[in-house]
Amino acid sequence: MTEAINADEAFVGTVEPEGADRLDEAKLSEWMAANVAGFEGPLHLTKFKGGQSNPTYKIETSSGNYVLRRKPFGQLLPSAHAVDREFRVQSGLQGSGFPVARQYGLCIDESVVGSWFYVMGMVDGRTIWDGSMPNDTPEYRHETYMAMIDTLAQLHSVNVDAAGLSEFGKPGNYFGRQVDRWTKQYRLSETELMPEMEQLIEWLPATLPEQTRTSVVHGDYRIDNMIWAKDRPEVLAVLDWELSTLGDPLGDFSYVAMAWVTDNGGRSGVQDLDRKALGIPELEEVVERYCAKTGRTSVPNMNWYFAYNFFRLAGILQGIKKRVIDGTASSSHAREMSDRVQPLVSRAAEFAKLAGM
């Protein structure tokens, strides 16, 4: 088991940007004055500690606080770091009543800060980095987990056409496309031969489950990718839409269910916690809640989905590992993350074997 990290210490708060993370504040002020309704300068920019994919900044101004997300600088994998897609999906969901931050503007002119970026409103609330929620009561924890599942069910019930997102992705063969995508991304950032990864790359596309529904899929839905109200178990905004598309909602549900087969380690896993004492629901209760909210009678056996999700995570972290080697990773946590590739591949293979590999 990996040593637990102090998530609050590692991820909460901001730091002054250094070196390549510094942005041209004068050019950004000029862009915001032209594109962000109600903006008043001057602005002060700091960088959020959490996250290692798209660098994220806090913009403090006299007209309020904003958040800027940009692509990393340097050579990037194709289709990765799609801040324009993040902006588009949140803009669409904003009109449907789903909890997302207010979207202000997208900039694809690299002369402003050196890469594409978008600006959204800053939502005041709490982030739950540690799934054990150490300072909360069992009742509060239980209600929080149920609110997380209810919000996911709400996302999967959004009318895609009414939200203007009917062209946001292809409607069918979600898992086939995802396996293909992460295989390609993995190949582009491969640094060593891993026999179990080779087996998964062969087995997953040959055993794809049938897709029976299509919805907006977040792609990275977990307890720490949302802003929670400070005083009640309510989701104020779901964040980090970089991997979102149209697809099989079971992609999201099986991903959030991964918490129940992942040790805590100071993050979102709950496998090794005393869930009953903490008030954290068992996976069976979560399945029942999701089914009730989405009109399902059941969800399929999860072993294939868990194998796929661990495989996908390995592919994502392999990309981070390659960026560490190339010197373009944007977070001090990236090196530590890159060491997790092989253990994730092994977990994927474990579940694949349970599913018949």
What is the residue-averaged pLDDT of the chain? 91
pLDDT, tens digit, 9 for 90 and up, residues 267-276: 999 999 999 9
pLDDT, tens digit, 9 for 90 and up, residues 145-199: 999 999 999 999 999 999 999 999 987 899 999 999 999 999 999 888 999 999 9
CB 155 within 8 A of CB 212: no
pLDDT, tens digit, 9 for 90 and up, residues 73-119: 765 555 556 899 999 999 999 989 999 999 999 999 999 999 999 99
β-strands 56-61, 117-121 pairing = unpaired
Domains, the chain, in order of start with CATH, read: 7-121 (3.30.200.20), 138-354 (3.90.1200.10)
**In the structure, what pLDDT confidence band is assigned to residue 11 with cuts at 50, 70 and 90?**
low
- 135-165 burial, b at 16+ Cβ within 10 Å, e below that, comes to ebeeeebbbbbbbbbbbbbbbbebebeebeb
Spatial distance between the Cα atoms of 196 and 202, rounded to a whole number of angstroms: 10
Per-residue model confidence (pLDDT) at position 320: 83
Residue 20 or 51, more confident:
20
CA distances from 203 to 113, 252, 357 (A): 43, 21, 7
Lowest-confidence segment of 21-30, 36-45, 219-228, 330-339 by average pLDDT: 330-339
Q: How far is CA 229 from the centre of its chain?
A: 19
pLDDT, tens digit, 9 for 90 and up, residues 223-248: 999 999 999 999 999 999 988 999 99
Per-residue model confidence (pLDDT) at position 12: 63
